[in-house]
Amino acid sequence: MAAVLLATLVVPSTPAGAEPACPAPTGGAAPTETPWALRRLDPASAWRITRGEGVTVAVIDSGVSPSHPLLKGQVREGRDVNGLPQAQGRCDLAGHGTIVAGIIAGRDDTGAPYSGIAPAARILPVRVLQDTRRTNDPGLPLQIAAAIRWAADQDVEVINLSLVTIDHPELADAVRYALDEGVVVVAAAGNRAQDQRDLPAYPAAYPGVIA
């Protein structure tokens, strides 16, 4: 779904030992028609009630590129807990967080035949992933926990975690903290349609999380 809602991002590699750059997203041709997923979901039917005005969604992911056409003006200064603190979460070397942010809050005034589900919402990026291969890193739950606590203190309405990691008491406590602060927490239940019955996905498996 992500691939058809936002143009594919291609990020140049960074030489070993070099300070990672923050390239603008590039990629192949974007869809010329409204993707099937958006036609099926029909988010415009809810826009008569709200388009997401006044709502900020924290995207805890690989960062978010504010230069993507669908996200210009949508991305607040956030936080980086994984190597690029000066970028304030507004650097995405993997492309994943930018895709997620576009699905959530991509603008609907760019002339493209697709947009985000809530095009008037704002994005607060929190970078915890250097790439999408780190989801089994035993240190990752602690970074995610710190990101959740920080985001919950930034006056956001929703925290989105399109990632899966392992169970950890600190992570469970951080989720409870966000929920106690009145924040809606949304997390991925898995990836690539994998069966998660024998291997629960966290933080999605914690009570109170929408997955």
Give me the domain span that covers residue 147. 48-187
pLDDT in tens, 32-47: 888 898 999 999 999 9
Q: Do 123 and 149 touch, CB atoms closer than 8 A?
A: no
Handedness of CA 74, 76, 78, 80 (dihedral sign): positive
Q: How far is CA 208 from CA 36, 49, 123, 194, in A?
A: 30, 25, 22, 22
- Strand bridging mode 158-161 / 184-187: parallel
The answer to whether residue 206 sits within a structural domain is: no
Integer Cα distance of 47 and 118 in angstroms:
8
Can you tell me the distance from the alpha carbon of 20 to that of 23, in angstroms, rounded to the nearest whole number? Answer: 9
pTM: 0.86
* Residue 106 resides in a domain: yes
* Residue 28 counted as domain residue: no
d(C-alpha 157, C-alpha 103), whole Å: 17
Distance of CA 140 to the CA centre of its chain: 16
Q: How many domains does the chain have?
A: 1
Cα-to-chain-centroid distance, residue 88: 15
Q: Is residue 129 part of a domain?
A: yes
Which 8-state DSSP code applies to residue 210?
B
Q: Is residue 4 part of a domain?
A: no
Each residue of 45-68: b (16+ CB within 10 Å) or e? eebeeebbeebbbbbbbbbbbbeb
Q: Looking at residue 167, which CATH number applies to its domain?
A: 3.40.50.200
Quote the pLDDT of residue 28: 60
122 in a structural domain:
yes
- pLDDT tens string, the chain, 211 residues long: the values are 443 344 333 333 444 444 456 766 555 667 788 889 899 999 999 999 999 999 999 999 999 999 999 999 999 999 999 877 788 999 998 899 999 999 999 999 999 998 999 999 999 999 999 887 755 678 999 999 999 999 999 999 999 999 999 999 999 999 999 999 999 999 999 876 666 667 789 999 999 999 9
Which tens digits make up the pLDDT trace of 121-149? Answer: 999 999 999 887 755 678 999 999 999 99
